[in-house]
Amino acid sequence: MANEKKMVEQITSMNTDFAQWYTDICKKAELIDYSSVKGCMIIRPYGYAIWENIQHLLDTRFKELGHENVYMPMFIPESLLNKEKDHVEGFAPEVAWVTMGGNEPLTERLCVRPTSETLFCEHYANIIKSYRDLPKLYNQWCSVVRWEKTTRPFLRSREFLWQEGHTMHATEEEAREETVRMLNVYADFHEKDLAIPVIRGAKTPSDKFAGAEDTYAIEAMMHDGKALQAGTSHYFGDGFARAFNITYTAKDNTLAYPFQTSWGCTTRMIGGIIMTHGDDNGLVLPPAVAPIQIVVVPIAMHKSPVVLEKATEIYEQLRAAGYRVKLDDSEQSPGWKFAEYEMKGVPLRIEIGPRDCEAGLCMVAFRHNLEKVSVPLDAIAGKAGELLETVRSEMYKKALQNRESKTYACRTLDEIKSVRAEHGDGFIKAMWCGEEACEDQVKAETGVGSRCIPFQQENLGATCVCCGKPAKSMVLWAVAY
């Protein structure tokens, strides 16, 4: 038991050092390892399995809406990148360049894609000719490179995995509908599958994606009160279409420019899961993306052969029912196994020993609250879905309660400072006049930046929290990852 206790104690308490706690979880739950390439991570099988489940769930949603998957090159010629001025200026500090091919210098530098708008536009210019070719609903699963100065596993790395949707539409109305529809897809996925409550809203003009007319985002609160941008969706208008000369023949036989959207989310979601749900025992995974949803642990197998027989029977029933289930009949002690699967965030653990077999029962341990319930052996397979939904529901409620308890309405900069001094990080709701100078001043004086202008507006007064002039909207402010 000493080794079992030591293994759990190796995780730094989140209340002692949240950043170190997060790093400990990533390493000790075997999600990642560090690479010899600075700022890049190795995603280990358990971490990648979480991403595969995320990918499957999102990809299913995309395809139900008519999107098709494609793949674009990794490299972008500099001349192509330069076709959209605002876009290239926005990404210039983060771009990695290829200048040599083998032993020969390249005649033109190649950018390692930080995003693929320009590549999609080049392709769309070749294939969109008529209104009959619209809409084009494409999505790409790939990796991108952004030369970040400060990195952290999943949250910010120089190479990361993501999906990027790029669509073209005949009308502005259709494109704007797509932009909001895909933001809602992300929000629905986070709340229903990841058990993470999010706030939907528009980014302020200064925080828009490079080249976009409007950017929308979902913002989630982590356990420590900081914000995480969990997904974005952008409306480009016809700016890229004009820059890349993408035209089509409309129904009235005139040439027209299509309207474009782009939307994406990344492996950052795994970081969001860790920081929203994790605890000092390790990961706490929502059932929808957990690589192992249920682990069956037979106890005292050597004393009673029927234990392993019953455990195997439960395992087979659960597997046949479609659950991701594991039977751990290894020689490790039960205590070691309990600590191991708590560390890895397995939502449900079924324990069965000799006495349980005699009584026709098993013990089900919940990872999210460490509570246990007794369930009849012949009912466990049929009850598993209900138990997993209880896990998801209670994880969501806990995360929502954390957000609500750390959200504050403020009417002056002094109020923001006072709230932060007393409570630390959290979400601040405050009115804003719409001027970038005030947005900058709020951050400079209080430390919180604008996260989004929530779709669900509240009237917290008639004046800007900063300058006292008439307010245009309520803004969500926070310190962000």
Among candidate residues 428, 164, 387, the one with its CA nearest the CA of residue 287: 387
CA atoms within 13 A on the CB side of 3: 7
Which residue has 């027209």 as its token pair?
A: 256
Q: Say if CB 271 and CB 151 are below 8 A apart.
A: no
The vertex-76 CA angle with 71 and 81, nearest 5°, equals 120
pLDDT score for 430? 98
Q: Residue 273 contacts by C-beta under 8 Å, 6 or more apart in sequence?
A: 50, 194, 196, 283, 285, 286, 289
According to DSSP, residue 278 is labeled -
> Residue 320: is it exposed, middle or buried by C-beta count within 10 angstroms (0-12/13-18/19+)?
exposed
Half-sphere exposure of 197 (CA within 13 A, CB side): 14
> Would you call 371 exposed, middle or buried from its count of C-beta atoms within 10 A (0-12, 13-18, 19+)?
exposed
CA angle 166, 167, 171 (to 5 degrees): 150
Residues found in the chain: 481
Question: Nearest CA to 124 among 211, 235, 243?
Answer: 243
The residue type at 273: I
Give the Cα separation of 456 and 106 in Å (integer). 51
Token pair listed for 201: 């809203």
pLDDT of residue 9: 53
Q: For residue 84, what pLDDT is reported?
A: 75
* Closest to 438 measured CA to CA, from 406, 401, 470: 470
Q: Which long-range contacts (CB under 8 A, 24 or more apart) does 355-358 make?
A: 356/310, 357/304, 357/306, 357/307, 357/310
Q: What is the pLDDT along the chain (481 residues), one digit of tens a residue?
A: 344 444 445 799 999 999 999 999 999 999 999 999 999 999 999 999 999 999 999 999 999 999 999 999 999 999 998 887 777 787 788 899 999 999 999 999 999 999 999 999 999 999 999 999 999 999 999 999 999 989 999 999 999 999 999 999 999 999 999 999 999 999 999 999 999 999 999 999 999 998 899 999 999 999 999 999 999 999 999 999 999 999 999 999 999 999 999 999 999 999 999 999 999 999 999 999 999 999 999 999 877 889 999 999 999 999 999 999 999 999 999 999 999 999 999 999 999 999 999 999 999 999 999 999 999 999 999 999 999 999 999 999 999 999 999 999 999 999 999 999 999 999 999 999 999 999 999 999 999 999 999 999 999 999 999 999 999 999 999 999 9
Which residue has 């952008």 as its token pair? 234
Looking at residue 136, its pLDDT comes to 98
Q: Quick check: helix, strand or coil at residue 381?
A: helix
Three-state SS at 338: helix
Place of tokens 């320009």: 118
| Peptide bond preceding 135 in cis form (omega within 30 of 0) | yes
pLDDT at 5: 45
* Rg of the chain (C-alpha set): 25
Helix (H) / strand (E) element for 145: namely strand 136-145
Spatial CB neighbours of 318, under 8 Å, sequence gap ≥ 6: 294, 296, 325, 380, 381, 384
pLDDT of residue 10: 79
Q: What's the whole-model pTM score?
A: 0.95
Q: Are 8 and 339 in contact (CB under 8 A)?
A: yes
Query: What pLDDT sits at residue 314?
Result: 97
Domains of the chain, earliest start first: 12-277 (3.30.930.10), 294-387 (3.40.50.800), 407-478 (3.30.110.30)
**Nearest in space to 281 (alpha carbons), one of 343, 210, 195:** 343
* pLDDT confidence of residue 301: 81
Look at residue 82 in the predicted model and tell me its pLDDT. 87
